Structure 1
Amino acid sequence: MDAKQPDWEAIERAYRAGALSIRAIAERQGVSDTAIRKRAKAGGWERDLSEQVRKEVRNKLVRGEVRDDQPANPENDAEIIEEAAQEGATVVRSHRRDIRKAANLADLLMDDLLLTIRKREEIEDAIEDETREDKNGMRRASMLAAVALPSNAKTLFQLSSAMKNLQILERQAFGLDDKDTPTDSDELSKLMDELSKEA
């Protein structure tokens, strides 16, 4: 049986779009990154469309016009940009949803911590009642430690850190911080690689 031949047209489109690293393109297409580099050098391929792709991803995210129908064999720059922008917009939207879910979970955990703090004395009394038969006091000690001030302070710190990170991610996902936007094709490629691995 013959080995599957690489789709060099698709590889060239992805290479020129500049949204994925050469390594990521190689993994997707089942070829080595060395083979892609050689082919790109021989064919004079340029990674010249990354800025246009980045702009079109932003446009798609603002307009909310992500189409499912993609051209089968794009032949010009506009089609390559559209194809790469479609993928980028889909990934960013997915991450926006994930970040929102995580932020909602952090809010729920913060509410739960607040309730625990407000009812600490009641909880401690219940633990005392529950562990009267505890001979060595180990069970009681571990249960009380779970609701003690140091434990609550540690939980608060961890939740605050998580919420801070989620806010940073959310601002990046919505493009609210220009300083977090990649400024060249290598940074964009790295970002898109990370997003595609997480997706």
Structure 2
Amino acid sequence: MTIKQPDWEAIERAYRAGALSIRTIADRNRVSDTAIRKKAKALGWARDLSEQVRKEVRNKLVRGEVRDDQCANPERDAEIIEEAAEEGATVVRSHRRDIRKAANLANLLMDDLLTTIKRREEIEDAITEETADDESGFRRGSMLAAVALPSNAKTLFQLSSAMKNLQVLERTAFGLDDKEQSKDSDELSQLMDELSKDA
């Protein structure tokens, strides 16, 4: 039985792109991270394209173009950047869709809460009528508590917190709060690791 050799060209591309940690690259290619480190050192691979990958991800998201005049092998580097940027852009687009769905759901829940508050007296009368024949007041008490002011206030607080979090996520996903990013390639690697765990 022959053992399949690692695809060192694909490993080099992922390594140089800097979008994934060495451990993740190793896991995906069924090789040890130590072997990758040794190979990278022996062949002089550098994780030198992560900043360009970040730029290209942003460019893809706004349909821009990337220019790079500083690469030792521009064609090959451009391929690596394109590949990593496409993966990053796909992830961000997916997050944008998910955030929009969650925001729409939070808005629907907020509308339901508003309707409940506006119609509280009507709902309370309906509950009283529905539970008139109950021997114990437990069901009536539970139903009235669900539409009472403290319950509504708690729901409002939870929805407000959810919407606040969604707004932060949305602003991040659309790059509206773009702060100066670190040039350290580990930042992007860490992000891509977390995303690959969720996938």
- TM-score normalised by L of structure 2: 0.87
Partner of 1:19: 19
Give the 3 Å change call, closer, same or farther, for CA 13–62 of structure 1 in structure 2: same
Contact kept in structure 2, 1:172 and 1:181, CA below 8 Å: no
The answer to whether residue 119 in structure 2 is matched with residue 90 in structure 1 is no
- Offset at 1:181? 4.8
Q: Tell me what 1:186 maps to.
A: 186
Give the distance between the partners of 2:64 and 2:105, measured in 1 at CA. 26
Question: Map of 1:17-56 to 2, 5 A cutoff?
Answer: 17-56=17-56
Look up the SS of the partner of 1:104 in the other structure: helix
Question: Once the 2 structures are TM-superposed, how far is the Cα of residue 180 of structure 1 from its aligned partner?
Answer: 7.8
Structure 1: tracts of 5 or more residues without a match: 66-73
Matches within 5 A, 1:1-16: 1-16=1-16
Per-residue CA deviations over 1:123-176 (Å, capped at 9, x if unaligned) read 111111111222222211111111111111111111111111111111111111
Instruction: Give % identity.
Output: 84
Q: Does 1:63 align with 2:36?
A: no
User: How far apart in 2 are the matches of 1:91 and 1:140?
Assistant: 48
CA gap 1:157/1:182 in 2 versus in 1, 3 angstroms: farther
Q: How many residues align?
A: 191
Counterpart mapping for 1:33-182 below 5 A: 33-63=33-63, 76-179=76-179, 181=181
| Alignment correspondent of 2:196 | 196
TM-score normalized with structure 1 length: 0.87
Q: Output the aligned Cα RMSD.
A: 2.0
Cα displacement (A) at 1:183: 4.6
Q: Secondary structure at the match of 1:145?
A: helix
How far, CA to CA, are the matches of 1:81 and 1:138 in structure 2?
Answer: 64
